[in-house]
Structure 1
Amino acid sequence: DVETLRECVKIMNDARNIILVGMGASLVTLRDLYLKLLRISKPCTINEDWHSQLLSCKNSSAEDVAIVCSYSGNTTEVITCMNALKENLTQIIAITRCVDTPVSKLADYKLYTTENESLLRTAAMSSRISQLNIIDILYTALGTMNYDETIKVLHRTYIEKPKN
């Protein structure tokens, strides 16, 4: 849904801080978004352990936005974080599959991934690619919203690779 995507990008742009919440393979994809947001100097928070994620959510405010990533939509730790976000009136963008789950019910905005991966899988594969695709779309749209400033910041934050 293009209109939902536009609204999510506007909310991200206006947010004081972007809080990233996920577990397992979904957290790995959020780490990619975290690095992208750092490159364009957008304040964001990611924590590797659940207790730290929950504390970030408990300390959130209506000026923040949370991006929650959960393929199953049923991850207990993520749902607990979302409830804390709701208590603080923090808007929630969920990257999840297109089914009726606790995560999709708690989210203010839903960005859906493909729903063709078994929940009994050996590793996240197509779900991870779908999540990364949504993350790249959000990042690109956010960057083009303030294009001139984004280009300046990208030049400033570029890390040159060592020459051999």
Structure 2
Amino acid sequence: MSILRRLSNPQIKASKSDNKLIHYFLANGLKACSSSISEISADCDISHATVTRFARKFGFETLKDFKIALAQDLGAQDNDSHGKRTAINLKESCETTAQKLLQLNQTLLSQTAVEIGFESVTKLTREIVGARHVFFFGIGSSGYLARDAARKIARIGIDARCYTDSHEIMTHSAMITNQDVAIYISNSGQTPELVKSAALCSKKGAMICAITAETTSPLYSFTDITVLHAVHDYDLAQGYADSRLSVFFIIDLIYIELIKLIGEKAIKQKQETQDAIESLSNSD
């Protein structure tokens, strides 16, 4: 979950000083990110130690780390926008749009790197290596991401499968066992077919993982491991939100961590699968 959202809906036990700081950072945006600890302390009438403790309550070792994460979350916003993403203008040039998209995507990946939870990725890779089968489930655009993940991971010798049709998802959910891992890709975590599948797989004793942007969704309630990503949104006609880039980033990270964990065997298998694929074009 992004720092802005965590500040807007704090899960910590906030003291009076904490509430002062929450209001300060939400009200001042990027200006607060460039303020020194002395300036923040003076503006909020609290001690330096209280400011440092506040950053730690949100999971950061230092105030600097907290401010970097907040600045990344604010992205391309200026001091007056306070949470509103840069709009895409229908009449702007292609070059202007490209620069905005580049900035948005850089912010998206920075946010994802902050939110992802590296311990979750490490735990997931260990579960994948020890599993009998790894099932990737996704519907719609998430289905394409799930298919890419399964194909990539299968190439290093892991029995990874993907299902994107609701009937196939439920069929294989009914056959899953406690030796398997089920990985759901869902931005909102509210897709009915995936929620029903997760409930069934959970009853079967499978390890459940969600790659998602939400921790308050129905899908999240069934997960053993959650890998979080950010989403960017920008105004274009009626609005647009996208998370594909951040999910691809997570899939690549999982893939590389698996290779690191498995070692030479994975590298050898990857080369063998690559050779097999290339032999198809050579035989034409």
TM-score, scaled to structure 1: 0.90
- Please give the residue correspondences for 1:12-161 in structure 2 after superposition, counting only pairs within 5 Å: 12-117=128-233, 126-158=242-274, 159-160=277-278
Cα 1:143–1:28, aligned 2, differ >3 Å: closer, same or farther? same
Identity of aligned residues (%): 25
Q: Aligned residue pairs: how many?
A: 162
Q: CA deviation at 1:48?
A: 3.2
Return the structure number with greater strand share.
1
Structure of greater relative contact order (alpha carbons < 8 Å, 6+ residues apart) = 1
Structure 1 residues 128 and 153: CA distance shift in structure 2, 3 A: same
CA RMSD of aligned residues (A): 2.2
Amino acid at match of 2:201: L
Between 87-96 and 107-116, report the one with greater CA deviation: 107-116
Shift of the alpha carbon at 1:124? 7.7
Tell me the distance in 2 between the aligned counterparts of 1:73 and 1:96.
6
TM-score by length of 2: 0.53
Greater fraction helix = 2
Structure 1 distance, partners of 2:183, 2:238, is 25
Measured after TM superposition, the shift of residue 117 of structure 1 is 3.6
Query: 1:4 is matched with which residue: 120, 131, 137?
Result: 120
Larger Rg belongs to: 2
The DSSP-based 3-state class of the residue aligned with 1:160 is helix
Instruction: List, as ranges, runs of 4+ consecutive aligned residues in structure 1 with deviation greater than 4 Å.
Output: 121-125
Change beyond 3 A, Cα 1:63–1:110: same
Which has the larger displacement, 87-96 or 153-162?
153-162
Deviations 1:59-113 (A, max 9, x none): 0011000110100111001001101101101111100003411111211110011
